[in-house]
Amino acid sequence: MIFGALEAGGTKMVCALGKEDGTILEQISIPTKTPEETIPFIIDYFKDKEIVSLGVGSFGPVDVNKDSDMYGHILDTPKTAWKYYDLLGNLEKELNVPIGLDTDVNGSCLGEITFGSSKGLDNVVYITIGTGVGVGAAVNGQLLHGMLHPEAGHILLRQHPQDSFAGNCPYHGTCLEGLAAGPAIEKRWGKKAVELKDVDKVWEIEAYYIAQALVNYILTLAPRRIILGGGVMHQKQLFPLIRKEVKELMNGYINTKEIKDLDQYIVPASLNDDQGIMGCIQLAKLALQG
């Protein structure tokens, strides 16, 4: 059986074919333009591939509530061409296979708990820090939804005493995304994040924000592990800085075995940046099971 996987991101769309065990057979990537330009290309790609089902991990906000009239539609997004676009409906109409849909970050979380180093863990938080900040979560083995899906990249934080950056989230200024996503780093320091590798202050401040967010997620969701992915987290020096800051902020309040071993608790994504697309393969498998 061949499963289709679509990681529908705000900047690029990744289409892939995969096997039951998560193996990616082939994959292509195209830039995300308007739906009219982008969707026909995706349909063409999958149409003659004999996929049994498709899994879609979409940028948000997207309606993931199966009982909703707007299920499968992109919601109120600054990407105006996609506002209220019926992503699921348009794919279903042309492909005639079961389609599983979730957010891109829930997809990545699913990839990690199905195929990655967090395989089998039932409560996991996955955070991506890239162009934006996205958070996915599995709770009791299920990807977390409610009235919407988590939007925990926009949680409000205490600002670092040495950071006067106004933040660049158009809604909240200094939320996590406004302070710590790749574009925020670039705007604060006037250089791309990757060019700031050797400037210690950059990563001290970055870790300060990420750690605050992690403490909030730990206290709220009691995850068994926290996984950090996305372009910014390629700066591996962040991991020890984040762990140290989490320990300080937690201040001994929680003493589980997980919290006592932060090296195993706060970890990088484990699937070579394929966690998202592999999660979509799993979404396709689950869609087939109904």
Binding residues for Zn ion, rule: CB under 5 A, are: 154, 169, 171-172, 175, 177
d(CA 234, CA 36): 33
Q: Which stretch binds ligand ADP (CB under 6 A): 42-50, 117-125, 208-216, 226-234?
A: 226-234
User: What does 240 bind: Zn ion, ligand ADP, none (CB cut-off 5 to 8 Å by kind)?
Assistant: none
Nearest-CA neighbor of 73 among 17, 105, 35? 35
Give the per-residue contact string, 168-197, with ligand ADP (x = CB under 6 A; - = no): --------------xx--------xxx---
- Based on CB atoms, which residue is closest to Zn ion, 71 or 165? 165
**Should residue 27 be labelled a site residue for ligand ADP when binding is judged by CB under 6 A?**
no
Nearest-approach distance from CB 17 to ligand ADP, in angstroms: 21
Tokens 């660049």, residue?
168
Min. distance of Cβ 134 from ligand ADP in angstroms?
Answer: 8
Q: Is 83 in the site for ligand ADP (CB under 6 A)?
A: no
Q: Are 68 and 81 in contact (CB under 8 A)?
A: no
Q: Which does 172 bind (CB under 5 to 8 A by kind): ligand ADP, Zn ion, none?
A: Zn ion
What three-state secondary structure class fits 112?
Answer: helix
SS3 for 256?
coil
Cα–Cα separations (whole angstroms), residue 239 to 43, 97, 106: 39, 41, 22
**53-58 and 3-8 as β-strands: parallel, antiparallel, unpaired?**
parallel
Nearer to ligand ADP, 194 or 254 (CB): 194
Burial class (CB in 10 A: 0-12, 13-18, 19+), 78: exposed
Whether 280 contacts 57, CB under 8 Å: yes
Q: Which is nearer to Zn ion, 175 or 185 (CB)?
A: 175
Partner whose binding site includes residue 175, from ligand ADP, Zn ion, none (CB under 5 to 8 Å by kind): Zn ion
**DSSP assignment letter at 42:** H
Q: 3-state DSSP: the chain helix, strand, coil percent, rounded to 5?
A: 40, 20, 35
Using rule CB under 6 A, residue 282 touches ligand ADP? no
Instruction: Take residue 149 and report the two structure tokens written for it.
Output: 């899906």
Nearer to Zn ion, 154 or 160 (CB): 154
CB nearer ligand ADP, residue 62 or residue 232? 232
**Sheet containing strand 12-18, strands side by side:** 24-31, 12-18, 3-8, 53-58, 99-103
Least distance (Å) between residue 192 CB and ligand ADP: 5
230 binds ligand ADP (CB under 6 A): yes
Question: Which residues contact ligand ADP (rule: CB under 6 A)?
Answer: 9, 11, 130-131, 182-183, 192-194, 230-232, 234-235
